[in-house]
Amino acid sequence: MAGGKAKKEKAKAQQHMPYQGGISFHKSKGQHILKNPLLVDSIVQKSGVKPTDVVLEIGPGTGNLTKKLLEAAKKVIAVEIDPRMVLELQRRFQGTPHSNRLTVIQGDVLRTELPYFDICVANIPYQISSPLTFKLLNHQPVFRAAIIMFQREFAMRLVAQPGDKLYCRLTVNTQLHARVFHLLKVGRNNFRPPPKVDSSVVRIEPRKPRIEVKQKEWDGFLRICFNRKNKTLGSIFRQKSVISLLEKNYRTVRALELGLKDSLKEADTKMESASFGEDQGMEMDDDEADDDDEMEVEDGEADDVQSEFKDKVLGVLKEGDFEEKRSSKLTLQEFLYLLSLFNKAGIHFS
C-alpha neighbours within 13 Å on the C-beta side of residue 148: 27
Give the separation between CA 45 and CA 314, rounded to whole angstroms. 51
Annotated binding residue 16: no
Give the separation between CA 12 and CA 116, rounded to whole angstroms. 41
Q: What are phi and psi of 166, to 5 degrees?
A: -90, 5
Beta strand 145-151 with 119-123 is: parallel
Give the separation between CA 167 and CA 157, rounded to whole angstroms. 6
Q: In 3D, which of 61, 65, 60 has the Cα closest to residue 23?
A: 61
Annotated binding residue 22: no
Give the separation between CA 245 and CA 322, rounded to whole angstroms. 20
Give the separation between CA 350 and CA 215, rounded to whole angstroms. 9
C-alpha neighbours within 13 Å on the C-beta side of residue 286: 8
With H, G, I as helix, E, B as strand and everything else as coil, classify residue 74.
coil
Largest CA distance in the chain: 97
C-alpha neighbours within 13 Å on the C-beta side of residue 115: 14
Annotated binding residue 346: no
Cβ distance 89 to 63 under 8 Å?
yes
Annotated binding residue 190: no
DSSP 99-130: GGGEEEEES-GGGS-----SEEEEE--GGGHH
Q: What are phi and psi of 34, to 5 degrees?
A: -65, 130
Full strand arrangement of the beta sheet holding 54-58: 102-106, 75-80, 54-58, 119-123, 145-151, 199-206, 178-186
Annotated binding residue 34: yes
Annotated binding residue 222: no
* Positions at the binding site: 32, 34, 59, 80, 108, 123
* Positions at the binding site for S-adenosyl-L-methionine: 32, 34, 59, 80, 108, 123
